[in-house]
Structure 1
Amino acid sequence: MLILASSSPRRSELLRLAGLDFTVEPADIDERVQEGENPAKYVQRLAMEKAQAVWEHHAAEDRDHLRVLGADTTVVCDGVILGKPVDQADARHMLEKLAGRTHQVLTGIAVVSQRGLFSEIDITQVFFDLIGEKEMVHYLASGEPMDKAGAYGIQGYAARWIPRIEGCFFNVMGLPLARTMALLARAREGTSETQPPPSRLSAL
């Protein structure tokens, strides 16, 4: 049994694309950046905490065949984490920062099973064109940027501004599929780089 510890429709879409059967159980955790935490540590920690929170929720059940997948994606430009915008002005600020530049999309993925806790990070370089004012106004008015890290989704209207990427396309959508499938296999088989599932989130 596989549980996706995320409410992201894009992650669900990608898992279905990969032919996986799963249920969705979003994790309720504090997603604020901790003091001194770099972007890679941030997304890895949140992915692990999401997976662990849902794993613990099923503590009273038989978990022999249970795997819980957690993931977190963020956009990073000049070392600064760009989360989901709080309003249109914030979305515009993010897009103006990204326009004509190269930035990174980081996704932390984690799987908890009886075999242990497994986690990885995927990084994709994204190249952005300049954004015309007319297109900017139209995009902001559409509401599309509001639920997306960095105020854009590569699979939507903003695709017109992305001439190329270096790395996994699906990572930019929110879940690097090939790496996720490999991690799920490791969690099932218990192969390499394992650690026992922590009994409490604080153990992470």
Structure 2
Amino acid sequence: MPYARLGAAAPDTLMSAEDMAVLPDVDEHTRKLVELGVFLGAPAPSAAPGYNDDLAAITSDLAGRSGLAVRRNDTGGIDVVDDIDPEARRRRLWGDCWLELGIPALPGPGGELDALLVGVPGESADRLLDAFRAVASAAMAKLRLSELEDTDRAWTPTEIDEYDQLSAQHDRLTRLLADYAQAVTEILPAIRASSSSESSPGGVH
């Protein structure tokens, strides 16, 4: 993994244009939608009377969620550019996982993670899978918490208990992410050894 991607999530990291180019590209369709919204709402939101407030808000929200920024250029025009702020970088790196759950996008069972664990001793693989499931469960608790908080009616005693349990579970998320990172660190030598074996002459190709 390029070093720039590792540093992109850190809030105090300054990134050059070359480093920013290593991050995932913003979906071209999304970029075009933001550009269209800016064009239809031009000049920039709040810069002139009569612009479409709703359109400006939608465009601004889409740009922010996607890691884009709307900037005035040297000639007074409006450009849609990749935002270099740390929050925008995290949104480009992790998308909905970060926006909805507040966690990095992690490889999970049934796909990339299973492929990485081929040939890794079962005990090590099980520990990593357990760590992933603990993170996923704590992250999903946030969604249920949001559902409860959006309820207009008074909560039932059962819902109050559920909220307390989910809150306690979600409060452990940072610790669980650290446990996951530790499990990844410990299993990396086995993953690399398995990968080297498969790519070596006489191995599996």
When normalised by structure 2's length, the TM-score is: 0.24
The structure with more helix, counted as a fraction of residues: 2
Larger Rg: 2
Higher-strand-fraction structure: 1
- Greater RCO, 1 or 2 (C-alpha within 8 Å, sep 6+): 1
